[in-house]
Amino acid sequence: MKTQKINERLQSAYEKMVEDIESLINNDGKKLKEAVEIAEEKLNTWQELTKEEAQKISNEVKSDLQSVGETLHGAKDAYKEQFKLDTAYLTDSIWEKISKIADASNEEFNAFSDNLKELAHKATTDDHANEHKDHLRWNSDHEFWLDEIKVWKNDHQHALVKLQAIEESIKKHTDALDEHAQVIHAHEEQNKEHEEVMQGTELDPSSRVLEAEDNREASIHRQESIEHAKHAALHDSLKKGHRKMMVLIDNLYNQVVK
């Protein structure tokens, strides 16, 4: 039902525009071109039509007028049935009105038809010119994009080299951690030995041998104290470097992979 109402509204608009053109020519003495322009302006004021519908109907009328103008008068009747099949809104009464418009001034009608052709040709030429400009702009864009792609691919190669260097740096950091852990284990063993000597001395304070051993361990302990301070600073430095490196790698991973 909705589609039927739309078709009826468009049919009515088509007929009204043709009738206005006929009246402007026959009653007001307007030239065909001027009559079409006035009728087109009237059609655009129809509140029942959207802007797109008004343009559609206007184009239909002008196209049908042009087609009739190209039809030989002697062949009008023979052409009528085929023309009705090709035209969306043509009825017998509208055919008669269009035919009368054509008969009113055959020379003017031909000029009007030629003008429509020229306008169509100009529109096509303008479209081609705009499309040609688009193609030139697009080709320029494509050339620039391809150049950028080459640069990016080169950047990727350098990035892969840098990633390999980062991998080697991580491996070296791991080796440094292993070395640090070995020193810690050795220090623990030294502490254990010193504890045993101190326990022996405490159990037998009169033993000269244990006393000498205790003095030797005390000297080693002072040296170990210095080494422990150094490794405490090293451990703090390794911790800061590790955290910084992990944050950067995690950020890179999240940006690139995730």
Helices 2-26 and 92-104 pack at an angle, to 10 degrees, of: 30
pLDDT at 210 over 50: yes
Q: What confidence score (pLDDT) does residue 94 get?
A: 65
Q: What is the mean pLDDT of the chain?
A: 78
42 or 100, higher pLDDT? 42
Report the residue count for the chain.
Answer: 258
Pairwise CA distance, residues 48 & 25, whole Å: 25
Q: What confidence score (pLDDT) does residue 130 get?
A: 78
The domain ranges of the chain are 2-104, 147-256
pTM of the model: 0.45
Residue 77 structure tokens = 């009747």
Pairwise CA distance, residues 100 & 110, whole Å: 14
End-to-end CA distance of the chain: 54
List, for residues 161-199, the tens digit of each pLDDT value.
Answer: 999 999 999 999 999 999 999 989 988 888 787 777 677
pLDDT at 256 over 60: yes
Which of 39-48, 54-63, 119-128, 141-150 is predicted most confidently? 141-150
Q: What confidence score (pLDDT) does residue 9 get?
A: 81
Q: What confidence score (pLDDT) does residue 2 get?
A: 46
Which of 35-49, 80-94, 98-112, 140-154 is predicted most confidently? 140-154
184 or 28, higher pLDDT? 184
Confidence of residue 136 (pLDDT cuts 50, 70, 90): confident
54 or 87, higher pLDDT? 54
181 or 46, higher pLDDT? 181
Q: What is the mean pLDDT of residues 229-251?
A: 91
Q: What confidence score (pLDDT) does residue 170 get?
A: 92
Report the C-alpha dihedral over residues 107, 111, 112, 113, rounded to 10 degrees.
Answer: 100
Count of Cβ atoms closer than 10 Å to residue 226 Cβ: 9
Residue with tokens 């810690």: 184
Confidence of residue 85 (pLDDT cuts 50, 70, 90): very low
Q: 3-class DSSP state for residue 90?
A: coil
Buried b (16+ CB within 10 A) or exposed e, 27-60: eeebebeebbeebbeebeebeebeeebbebbbeb
Q: What is the mean pLDDT of residues 103-116?
A: 61
